[in-house]
Amino acid sequence: MHQNRPISPKSMPISLPRVICLPLVVLPSLCFAQRNSADPDSMQTLQSIKYSVQSSARAYGYMQELCDAVGPRLTGTDSANAACRWAMNRLKRSGLQDVRMEPWRMSKGWQRGHAFCQVTAPFAMDLNVVSYGWTGSTKRGGINADVVAVNSDDLPGEIQKKAQGWSGKVLFLAPLSAKHVNPLRVFSQLPKLLNSASQAHVAGVITGSGRPGVMLTHTGPAAFKDSYFPIPVLDVASEHQITIQRLLALKRPVRVKLDVDNTVVPSGTECFNVVADIPGAEKPDEFVILAAHLDSWDLSPGAVDDAAGVGTVMAAADAIVSQSVRPTRTVRVVLFTGEEEGLLGSLAYMRMHRLEAGKIVAAYVCDWGTGPMTKIPLAGHQELVSPLQHFTQTVSDIAQLSVDSSYLVFTDAYSFTLAGIPGVAFLQNSPDYVQIGHSAADTVDKVNKKNLSTNTAILGCLGYWTANYPSRLGLTYNRGQVAASLKRDGQQPVLELFDLWKLASGAK
């Protein structure tokens, strides 16, 4: 899940899938010169990185291969694990070192089955629906039920007033007024609604993601955490949502046939993040992280969200490896899973690497479509504004970037921010990202090859520049400083909505 504006005041004995060979040169092994006192503003090195990226289509090739050879990559499934093995193979081939899959666990695994919903009264009409992730099924053969309107602007009030009459009904969630509450607040209250609905023996829930698109459905998690809900929960295309909303407003009784069949694995599921290093020559225990998420929702190959980010990170690492001078600090590639379910993989990474958190200089995350990078939001780390503004001048020939201390929340960068580390998710001009992401429309043809190459050049230069900066960039905040920074910048309300404030502040 993402928010489309900065706020201020993610070894197995299974064979690799058949893959497409990239028609690009094979990079040399990691054999840098041992000396490294390179000036971070060395135009020769930065120009070399920019040229090596822009003269190839390596990022696009990685993106295309991941989508075409592996396809959809739902966390916890065989396909997600195949994507991890694919990434390991490619990172090893590129010359990175200590390439590995680091395990973490989800409480339950989940796989999508079929979802069918048909209006049977006051007339017959099939609805465009898909299941929300980690939600349940109807009984075999489906059910027929009356639809009950639930005001999504006041879910706590609706639970208190109406839950006793919900047994056997299908709840239809929609706002009752044009000017309704923040969608993030509605989403944050959905788990409580679903728990109450389960206790009330509701037959199912139909809602809308609020994402635009002509008859497009969008999947997503029902909660921004590791949770499973046993009742079926469906997203419906916005046009069909409006149609049902009109019928209910006209007091026309609406009845639906619902047939949903998903599979849950209750015993837990082992998942993986992929990690690889370009070791630093002088300060190998300090890290500059380049990251994206390997997982995707399963309605499409997930090209925009986030195979494009994966391609960007891997090709940027290739460009750094190809330089003759080893970076001062270690540049680490991390490809997370579990991002789509609530940053689960990146939060697990921070737990596993908590002892080295103070050694992470910055984490740069690519996860906002394939539009050109336009801003570097530093998530409250105001001390980085001035040096990063200086960096933007070194890439001004290929991009016009602004820098400030604002936030782009609900990407894997946020997991680092909550740990006091500069977590940077680049803001990109991707106006169709919200529409395409999490839908069947997220396909390879949506990716802009030129933008991808430019973004890769920026990331490669920034990663190398940060790793080679004479002094360590930025600060690592302690819990008190994290809480103070987030509170100062107006982040506390949204963190409280999603039960992340305790994690950020260290509160009990």
Q: Given this model, what pLDDT does residue 144 score?
A: 97
508 band by pLDDT with thresholds 50, 70 and 90:
low
**pLDDT average, residue stretch 466-478:** 92
**pLDDT average, residue stretch 41-61:** 85
Taking 50 as the threshold, does the pLDDT of residue 156 lie above it?
Answer: yes
**pLDDT average, residue stretch 52-80:** 94
- Pull the structure tokens for residue 175: 């706002």
Taking 50 as the threshold, does the pLDDT of residue 13 lie above it?
Answer: no
Q: Given this model, what pLDDT does residue 181 score?
A: 66
Q: Given this model, what pLDDT does residue 243 score?
A: 94
- Pull the structure tokens for residue 457: 């050049």
d(Cα 14, Cα 88) in Å, to the nearest integer? 13
Q: Given this model, what pLDDT does residue 504 score?
A: 81
Q: Given this model, what pLDDT does residue 178 score?
A: 62
Q: Which ranges in the chain are annotated with CATH 3.50.30.30?
A: 109-265
In this structure, of 130-144, 280-294, 494-508, the range with the lowest mean pLDDT score is 494-508
Taking 60 as the threshold, does the pLDDT of residue 293 lie above it?
Answer: yes
**pLDDT average, residue stretch 388-399:** 94
Half-sphere exposure of 390 (CA within 13 A, CB side): 10
**pLDDT average, residue stretch 417-422:** 95
Write down how long the chain is: 508
Taking 50 as the threshold, does the pLDDT of residue 26 lie above it?
Answer: no
Instruction: From 427, 352, 351, select the one nearest 3 (Cα to Cα).
Output: 427
**pLDDT average, residue stretch 208-216:** 82
How much is the mean pLDDT over the chain?
89
463 alpha carbon, distance to own chain's centre? 20
180 band by pLDDT with thresholds 50, 70 and 90:
low
Assign domain 43-107+268-476 to a CATH class: alpha beta
Taking 60 as the threshold, does the pLDDT of residue 20 lie above it?
Answer: no
Taking 80 as the threshold, does the pLDDT of residue 150 lie above it?
Answer: yes
**pLDDT average, residue stretch 33-56:** 68
- The fraction of the chain above a pLDDT of 90, given in percent, is 77
Other C-beta atoms lying within 10 Å of the C-beta of residue 332: 24
Q: Considering all CA atoms of the chain, what is the largest pairwise distance in Å, rounded to the nearest integer?
A: 77
Q: 252-291: per-residue pLDDT in tens?
A: 999 999 999 999 988 889 999 999 999 999 999 999 999 9
Residues 6+ apart with CB under 8 A from 226: 106, 107, 108, 341, 342, 344
Taking 70 as the threshold, does the pLDDT of residue 9 lie above it?
Answer: no
CB 352 within 8 A of CB 102: yes
First CA to last CA across the chain, in angstroms? 26
d(Cα 221, Cα 302) in Å, to the nearest integer? 16
Q: 312-344: per-residue pLDDT in tens?
A: 999 999 999 998 888 999 999 999 999 999 999
Q: Given this model, what pLDDT does residue 39 score?
A: 58
Q: Given this model, what pLDDT does residue 24 score?
A: 37
Taking 80 as the threshold, does the pLDDT of residue 506 lie above it?
Answer: no
d(Cα 282, Cα 328) in Å, to the nearest integer? 5
**pLDDT average, residue stretch 121-133:** 97
Q: Which ranges in the chain are annotated with CATH 3.40.630.10?
A: 43-107+268-476
Taking 90 as the threshold, does the pLDDT of residue 211 lie above it?
Answer: no
In this structure, of 54-58, 305-309, 357-361, 430-434, the range with the lowest mean pLDDT score is 54-58
Q: Given this model, what pLDDT does residue 502 score?
A: 84
CATH topology for 109-265 is Glucose Oxidase; domain 1 (3.50.30)
**pLDDT average, residue stretch 1-10:** 37
Q: Which residue has the higher pLDDT, 176 or 58?
A: 58
Taking 50 as the threshold, does the pLDDT of residue 11 lie above it?
Answer: no
Q: Given this model, what pLDDT does residue 315 score?
A: 98
Q: Given this model, what pLDDT does residue 450 score?
A: 95
Q: Given this model, what pLDDT does residue 420 score?
A: 95
Q: Given this model, what pLDDT does residue 295 score?
A: 98
Q: 339-392: per-residue pLDDT in tens?
A: 999 999 999 999 999 999 999 999 999 999 999 999 999 999 999 999 999 999
Scanning 291-343, the segments in alpha helix (DSSP H) are 308-321
User: C-alpha dihedral over 351, 337, 314, 421, to 10 degrees?
Assistant: -30
Other C-beta atoms lying within 10 Å of the C-beta of residue 7: 16
Q: Which residue has the higher pLDDT, 55 or 154?
A: 154
28 band by pLDDT with thresholds 50, 70 and 90:
very low
**pLDDT average, residue stretch 423-436:** 93
Q: Given this model, what pLDDT does residue 498 score?
A: 84
Q: Which residues face 423 on adjacent strands?
A: 363
